[in-house]
Amino acid sequence: MARAVILPSQTSTQTLLFAIPRIPLTTWKLPFMSRQVLCKCSSSQAAPAAAVVDVAKYKEAFAKRMAMAGLKPHHRLAIGVSGGPDSMALCVLSAHWKAQDFSAKCDNGGFIDGLLAIIVDHGLRAESKEEANTVSNRVSKMGIRSCIACCDWPDGHPKQGHLQEAARDMRYEMFQNICIQNRIGVLLIAHHADDQAELFVLRLSRNSGVLGLAGMPFTSQIFSTHTHSCAEVSRNHGILVVRPLLDLVKEDMYKICEGSNQVWVEDPTNQSQLYARNRIRLYLKDSTCAFRSELQALIAACRKIRRYVDQICSNLISQAVTFTDLGYAVIDLEILNQSEIEDICMTKFIALVLKFISQRNRPIRGGTSKLLLNYMRTLPCKTSFTAAGCYISPAPGSRGLKALVCVSVDSPLPLKMGLSRLHFQIEQEHSTPDEIEQIISDSISYADSLVPNKSDVHFLEGNPESILTRARKLGMISESTQTNILLLHQEEIKNFKSSKVAADYKSEHGVKSASTSRSEQLQPGQICCFMDRFFVTWNLSEEDTDDATSEEANLDGVLEAESRYCCCRSCGFGHDTVVEVRNMIEPDWLYLANLSKCQTSENFQEQRHSLDNGLEQTEEKANKCLDYARLSAQRALVSLRLIPLAARRGLPVLVNGEGLLLSIPSISFKHCPRLATSATFKPKVPLGGGHTSFI
């Protein structure tokens, strides 16, 4: 996994894309444009008249967009900077906006307080480090502090076909790491309208529906799947991503830089025809203004539809789904089918629930999506099946009117979703400022005000061709624009070799089954993130723990009273005990059932000996501790009967080196009163997925 290295350079920047050509800090010309760009430090050279641009209108528009996102100049922000014209323009506007705050001040280094530029050095070329330092020096002249995040590729550089995708994922991982380390909860990205148009055509060629064609949201949240501490997960509010330049085009980026006498660099890989985005970019660059304008109108219509669908899904989740702290959910199918809900809304609703339960942020496509849709629309439901990493079945006792959704422990999972060990000693305070919650709330409130009525939503379903046809009939686009989009769409389909990409990805990243045999040793005081959902830990206290002695009133305090006389050493527990964590299996239930039937300490000793012939006879001194385990098993069975059988299989359990059950922390079962265990349901990615759109 990539590691971020923070260098105390006095700079800032956005995402380093791939290649930044080496250029002197003097006047230079772009290789493919007749345009001069002046470095701020070149005071001896005057800007030509064509480069003198009034950026006041851009600053005013920027301030309005930031207010729409709930942001104020005193808020702490990070900027993703690559050194290109887009990110440099964003730096110019951000620095001016922050300076408008009368309470704004500079730190000891003379930099604007609360503004950090993040430069990602992907390390894919020998000169990338020098280029990152050059960009860092340039943004420091604007009064913006920066840091350079250096990428580490432990499995080697990504293959050419996956280079852009892998670099993008790495960038956002670096962004999140730096934001967490600097207690910053807002990240500004320099995406603009031309980027949105490129994405529209790219997704059109992948046969995306209207939700995919809506493109990038103005504000959204991203959540890290690389958690470093339990405390961090408990406060995992995500990073708020804001794209304040989405209403501007590429030409505006050049004008802002020119009007502010800022130099920029052009990424030479942007000219490569190998990448679909580059081919689309060059096509759009040569298209007419009318074509680009109508394309933006079509994107805006798709974004309006996405806001409508998101609102419907939010209502359905609050009304029809019950989530438990044991990692499963129950969906009320009667509520879902009481009103007529469009297929596109129902499909996304199902995907949101399944992604949260499985903790896999993958799209659900094709036949699987149709199967799930038909299942949710069938009353009563009668069958059970596995899909998208989840097990779906009729909820017990519901007569098929409710559906149970729990994680499928036998489904293929990404390698990174196995057991990951975390240590108390690395736990740090990585919370974002309290104000971030208010910012996000304001952003969501603004988004809610933009949700259209159903009558304003003109096309919800259909393939790309039908969507374009509908837009043409509604007058959103002209016939020539429709024809040109379809031609570009068909051309990109020819270049898209989906089968090869899928095969390469599977072989490169690999999957493995989360089978019941998977386990990992866990030392005292360590934290294990089990299947990206439970944080499990154990320890051996010097005194009796009371977490499992006072919860069930029907035991009349017997469990608590008997535990006072127990000695953990007598039943074989110690700090050197080998403990493993795995998911619950059927023999665990049988073991508890047999254990609970032992009426005396002597019978229990015989029962435990018969269950594990490798155990030696314990001392008479252990009798009280063994009685404690029997009573704990009785209480555990009461709790387990309330949990659906399929959901039990997703619970973490602790076993010793011989596989003997020691504890089921989620239901407070344990063999020894001095054994302190916990399993807290804290999914890494919240409901809504790893990327939640607001506007």
| Model pLDDT for residues 28-38, shown as the tens digit of each residue | 222 223 233 33
Distance CA 250, CA 582 (A): 53
Residue-level pLDDT at 102 = 54
The percent of residues in the chain predicted with pLDDT above 90, rounded, is: 45
Instruction: Choose the most confident range, by mean pLDDT, from 192-196, 339-343, 677-681.
Output: 192-196
Mean pLDDT along residues 280-304: 92
Cα→Cα distances 239→223, 224, 303, 356, Å: 6, 8, 22, 18
The pLDDT confidence band at residue 235, using thresholds 50, 70 and 90, is low
CB-CB contact of 413 with 213 (8 Å): no
Residue-level pLDDT at 9 = 34
First CA to last CA across the chain, in angstroms? 31
More confident residue, 222 or 290: 290
CB-CB contact of 339 with 313 (8 Å): no
pLDDT higher than threshold 60 for residue 22: no
Mean pLDDT along residues 205-218: 91
Look up residue 10 and give its DSSP letter. B
Residue-level pLDDT at 107 = 64
Name 421's bridge partners. 528
Residue-level pLDDT at 557 = 47
Write the pLDDT tens digit of every residue in 612-656.
444 444 444 456 677 888 899 999 999 999 999 999 999 999 998
pLDDT higher than threshold 70 for residue 607: no
Q: Which of 460-464, 510-514, 628-632 is least confident?
A: 510-514
Residue-level pLDDT at 544 = 54
Distance CA 229, CA 102 (A): 38
Residue-level pLDDT at 309 = 94
Distance CA 413, CA 396 (A): 27
Domain boundaries along the sequence of the chain: 53-268, 521-543+565-599+618-681
For residue 449, give the amino acid letter.
S
The listed CATH number (3.40.605.10, 3.40.50.620, 2.60.40.420, 3.40.50.300) that belongs to domain 53-268: 3.40.50.620
Q: What mean pLDDT, rounded, does the chain reach?
A: 78
Residue-level pLDDT at 360 = 84
Please give the distance of CA 67 from its chain centroid, rounded to a whole number.
25
**pTM for the model:** 0.79
Residue-level pLDDT at 161 = 64
How many other CB atoms are found less than 10 A from the CB of residue 188?
Answer: 28
pLDDT higher than threshold 50 for residue 562: no
Mean pLDDT along residues 78-103: 91
Residue-level pLDDT at 337 = 87
pLDDT higher than threshold 50 for residue 44: no
Residue-level pLDDT at 555 = 43
Residue-level pLDDT at 10 = 35
Helices (H), 145-216: 163-181, 193-205, 210-213
Residue-level pLDDT at 32 = 27
Structure tokens at 503: 């095969």
**What residues have CB less than 8 Å from 534, skipping those under 6 apart?**
327, 651, 652, 666, 679, 680, 681, 682
